[in-house]
């Protein structure tokens, strides 16, 4: 599985990135979940050669389209260690924080990892999220900053970001974290509600 993300010593990694996790800015497909049709295999091979060293999967849909200029060019997040309050469920661990003031209804970052079919996904992973029907995104060993967002329970009265599936302008299905009705001030921890998106039976 190695060799298709950024190495742990890469200078472009976010601060506090764990050495045991491979960083990737694009979705990676597990080999067991790639299409078996000869024609589709050729298509995916072509995509891989054009986007090397990453394997990308694109799809069309009618979900909300978000401009690609909003994704990736604005860095709204930073990874930080949680030291206060001591009652925080993830005290002493890391969370995702606002690197700058985030406007309402804004794509904060995507949740990216390795895509598995439901039956092939690692059952013990604590970082599984629904990507599409029959497909799960696992951020346990290969991921981006999105893996650090904590659940709001025990942290705040309500979540300040929500997961939403959308289609980018280049036609790729993505799962993003979006701010809600209120702006998020710089330094605020970003929290969400995993709920049904985390439920493997969804």
Rounded Cα–Cα distance for residues 153 and 147 (Å): 17
pLDDT tens, 45-65?
444 444 333 333 333 333 444
* Tokens linked to 79: 């990874």
**Segment 88-128, tens digit of pLDDT:** 989 999 999 999 999 999 999 999 999 999 999 998 998 99
Instruction: Give the model's pLDDT for residue 13.
Output: 86
Res. 73: pLDDT tops 70: no
Distances (CA, A) of 87 to 52, 73, 83, 154, 163: 44, 35, 10, 8, 25
Residue 147 and residue 139 in contact, taking contact as beta carbons nearer than 8 Å: yes
Decide the pairing of beta strands 161-168 and 65-66.
parallel
Better-predicted residue by pLDDT, 202 or 91: 91
pTM, to two decimals? 0.74
**What does the pLDDT read at residue 6?**
52
4 compared with 170, residue with greater pLDDT: 170
């Amino acid at each position: 599985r190695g060799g298709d993300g950024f190495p742990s010593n890469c200078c472009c990694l976010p601060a506090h990135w764990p050495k045991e996790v491979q960083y990737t800015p694009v979705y990676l497909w597990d080999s067991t979940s790639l299409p078996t049709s000869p024609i589709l295999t050729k298509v995916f091979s072509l995509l891989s050669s054009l986007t090397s060293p990453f394997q990308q999967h694109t799809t069309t849909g009618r979900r909300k389209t978000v401009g690609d200029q909003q994704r990736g060019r604005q860095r709204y997040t930073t990874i930080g260690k949680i030291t206060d309050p001591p009652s925080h469920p993830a005290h002493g661990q890391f969370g995702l924080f606002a690197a700058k003031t985030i406007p309402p209804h804004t794509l904060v970052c995507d949740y990216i990892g390795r895509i598995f079919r439901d039956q092939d996904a690692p059952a013990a992973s604590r970082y599984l999220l629904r990507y599409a029907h029959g497909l799960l995104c696992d951020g346990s060993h290969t991921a981006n900053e999105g893996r650090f967002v904590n659940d709001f329970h025990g942290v705040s009265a309500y979540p300040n970001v929500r997961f939403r599936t959308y289609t980018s302008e280049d036609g790729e299905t993505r799962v993003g974290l979006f701010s809600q009705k209120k702006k998020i001030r710089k330094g605020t921890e970003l929290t969400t509600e995993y709920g049904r998106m985390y439920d493997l039976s969804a």
